[in-house]
Structure 1
């Protein structure tokens, strides 16, 4: 009986591995306060995965009385039994939540035995269900988004790299991983590490990195030390006075005479950030018979926003008191797709160095790049040292 040559066995094993893995995909996920984005790499090309025609999915789920689960925009149409702003709930204790946030929330928020917020869902038949934010997150990501991604890719998603805020505790991270399907490899990576990977930044040993996360609710600022391929948090501050929602609200209140802007403030800000003047007409649908009420320019937006920009400058000065510009080696600004150029100019002027901010969603790019590595936890990206967690102090 002839024996099969080793070279033939190796070739057959190679062919078999191609067959087994040809319909499996790895994805990167960016989990923000407002939306979740998913992407993958195919044939060395980065592309976003769309759900219902959108490449960003609202972080909302709604549970119907019959057990049906809706998510994204469909969930937002439900006026009750909805869990949204999942990340904001994960980042805060119950007593840290603003009163207006609790009052405006589509479902009742109560406090669990550990002081964490938990959502109470009430159904028409009188029954109730308690859902904590981590469970809502697992339903959204591990069930609904995994399913929609597989439909889009026509492949089985076998691995996820998920961005998470650095404030999440070890217990929260462990619970997320415990809720993941057993056949799905999940890695949770801090946003800061993914942003560095997204920019292909290779920090020098013992370098200091100033990272700013500017989201709808607050400005988060952290100073990190990079040593031995690890990020160690040295300083963390936040300022809820200058989240993007505050900029948008200020601009809405600015107009005398009650001119209706007829445009979502965030859309207006995004257009102005691209230096595109925005024209406001009295009839939005029939422009042929409309009267031009106002043309808004970037310069005017900056002028209106000057009180908030002054607060931002004050925040930078407070950071510089602890870490002067000479000690900062790199600066990264993320979650700022629709920030206007003045923000970058202020930072660069104060610190005297260039800022990394030009890539649209470096966190998603970083997560997607890491998802392609198949060697366990060795991602060739900085990990985070959790032994030096600081409280989330306000600026």
Structure 2
């Protein structure tokens, strides 16, 4: 089915919802500076006065952008907003608290949608409630279009494309390694952790979050999968087992519990194109000195578990709330500009050849780089429709935008590619 959004019969190309938040304003600013001339953009949120103030701060092309008053507590306002645009780009989180009505509205209206969620229960909700609606209306609902989970998803996509081009078979065991990282933790991310920790007190939600295939299905109950069927989210592994070029011990990556589910969903949506024997895990480089890295990796694993436990326990959570950033808070522009990250993903194809992809970006991962990834995702959906795969429903960045988004991000100063080793 072809929606009005797909044929271009909409007033706007992109509406940025949540512009008055910290990352929302960064995203709008990025679009003002980098969107092609003539791109039709509007700013949306619940306070007209705050929207006008943001528009004035951004200046430039944004000075002429319309503002739209919409509120998650008013479904009618969301319906009216999504009916006016090809793509809605939302930074209003935690999505478990504020995102459900908007994702259903977009799916119903045939409006493409991108967000920054790192919340497995929210994506599961979206699959169950919005996938069929979006498939019928022609909408692409694309979650996790920031540091969660574009580096993970496009790194594996790059491996898949290179192995396919080389006619080298399929992927087997694949490991993402965050090699270097400089940046802060956003208040929005911390608030999402708060919500997830609260939700996880429910046994059903805990089972969902522990299920490595929690997102690997269509609407209905997710497939049951034993925890041991995929690499642990708290994996501590010898680097040489990942690839002979590496040394030391790799620590758990703190975002693995979401990113891995997104990548596995990509494989399922692509009908196991990555491989029938594809397995995926994520780790983090903490040094190549064997003893030091082993101790550090162990401490990271313990610390990750302790932090999640502390966020679910009232007294310790209140203590952490005093020192962690609040929603809407973020680092200075100088700090954002100094940020960076480099990630590599390693696999061996079914033909026995080793491959590595590399994803490198400059700018604080959770702020500046995320604004680029989210902004370019919205532009890809709005402006590159002739390059996009014919997939609709609740998708992932790789499945929805694949090569088109990779091309855009490389053009925006990122470096994404894969090579045979």
TM-score w.r.t. the length of structure 1 is 0.34
RCO higher in 1 or 2 (8 Å CA, sep ≥ 6)? 2
TM-score w.r.t. the length of structure 2 is 0.33
**Structure with greater helix share of residues:** 2
**Structure with greater strand share of residues:** 1
| Bigger radius of gyration | 1
